[in-house]
């Protein structure tokens, strides 16, 4: 049983929203747990739509923890031509690659593939259709929130092949000083990896952000590969193959 007692929020709010805010689970998962009778507020079984105050005690029951423990997180080396989320415009979704045939033979996870592992997978940070590399697909709302929540501090690292001339001032702007969609971008770490490739380390992920940043300083992206999310690296995982997040790995 988990006990959370936090007084950081001043106003009353829906229980499911509060549970997500506290990092217990996603809102959708919270509603499911509440429906099952697996959530207590101040010792009383919670009901759907219930409102809570900041100092209310929220307990997740053992059954909810057991269900969370069965949820898997998968690391895929996404190839070009697959979309990260739902299939669209004739392109396949990356989740369609999560099959026993595409499971990396060198995966050292103790898990054995079950068809349930390929269901309800959500991308925790997207990659464009023409980008490749590390895509995290998870059934666990806590991990999704950790990686793509609005306050996420998780770094994402990319190798970006470019055409064009980049001035010293342009490099400074890539690190800090650009705006997209009328909003100043958070500071980034951008350095030359080699003659025609930049290394980007970001803590946010606006749509096509790196490509648009490069356009603003006169560069055209010809290749983009994500090689790290937090402390988890793509490593030797081949294109089109996937593996499980290991028990000792944390983002």
Q: Which fold has domain 156-229?
A: Pseudouridine synthase (3.30.2350)
Classify the C-alpha dihedral 145-101-239-250 as positive or negative: positive
pLDDT of residue 8: 47
Distance CA 152, CA 144 (A): 10
Name the residue with higher pLDDT: 189 or 151.
189
Does the pLDDT of residue 129 top 70, yes or no? yes
Rounded to two decimals, the pTM is 0.76
Q: What is the pLDDT of residue 9?
A: 45
Cβ-Cβ contacts under 8 Å for 111 (sequence gap 6 or more): 72, 117, 244
pLDDT digits (tens, 9 = 90+) for 24-60: 887 888 998 999 999 999 999 999 999 999 899 999 9
Least confident of 101-110, 135-144, 219-228, 240-249: 135-144
Q: pLDDT digit string (tens) for 216-243?
A: 999 999 999 999 999 999 999 999 999 9
Sequence-ordered strand ranges (E) for the chain:
2-4, 13-14, 39-41, 44-45, 51-52, 58-60, 73-78, 82-83, 92-93, 122-123, 132-138, 156-163, 179-180, 183-184, 189-194, 197-202, 220-229, 232-233, 242-244
Q: Mind telling me the catalytic residues? A: 128
Tokens read off for 244: 């499980």
Position 2 scores a pLDDT of 60
Domain covering 71-149+234-244: architecture: 2-Layer Sandwich (3.30)
What fold, for 8-68? 3.10.290
Domain ranges of the chain: 8-68, 71-149+234-244, 156-229
pLDDT single digits (tens) 140-155: 888 988 898 877 899 9
Sheet holding 2-4, edge to edge: 2-4, 58-60, 39-41, 44-45
Q: Is the pLDDT of residue 94 over 90?
A: yes
């Amino acid at each position: 049983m988990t006990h959370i007692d936090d007084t950081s929020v001043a106003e009353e709010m829906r229980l499911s929203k509060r549970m997500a805010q506290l990092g217990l689970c996603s809102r959708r998962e919270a509603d499911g747990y509440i429906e099952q009778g697996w959530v207590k507020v101040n010792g009383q079984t919670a009901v759907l739509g219930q409102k809570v105050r900041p100092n209310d005690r929220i307990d997740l029951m053992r059954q909810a923890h057991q269900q969370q423990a069965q949820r898997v997180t998968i690391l895929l080396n996404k190839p070009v031509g697959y979309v990260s989320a739902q299939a669209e415009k004739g392109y396949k979704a990356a989740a369609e690659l999560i099959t026993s045939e595409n499971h990396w033979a060198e995966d050292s996870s103790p898990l054995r593939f079950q068809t349930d592992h390929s269901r309800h997978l959500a991308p925790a940070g997207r990659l464009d259709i023409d980008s490749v590399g590390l895509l995290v697909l998870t059934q666990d709302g806590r991990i999704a929130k950790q990686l793509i929540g609005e306050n996420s501090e998780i770094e994402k690292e990319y190798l970006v092949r470019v055409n064009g001339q980049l001035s010293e001032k342009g490099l400074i702007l890539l690190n800090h000083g650009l705006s997209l969609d009328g909003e100043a971008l958070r500071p980034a770490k951008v350095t030359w990896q080699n003659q025609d490739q930049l290394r980007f380390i970001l803590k946010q992920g606006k749509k096509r952000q790196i490509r648009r940043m490069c356009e603003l300083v006169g560069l055209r992206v010809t290749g983009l590969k994500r090689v790290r999310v937090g402390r988890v690296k793509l490593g030797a995982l081949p294109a089109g193959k996937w593996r499980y997040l290991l028990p000792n790995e944390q983002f």
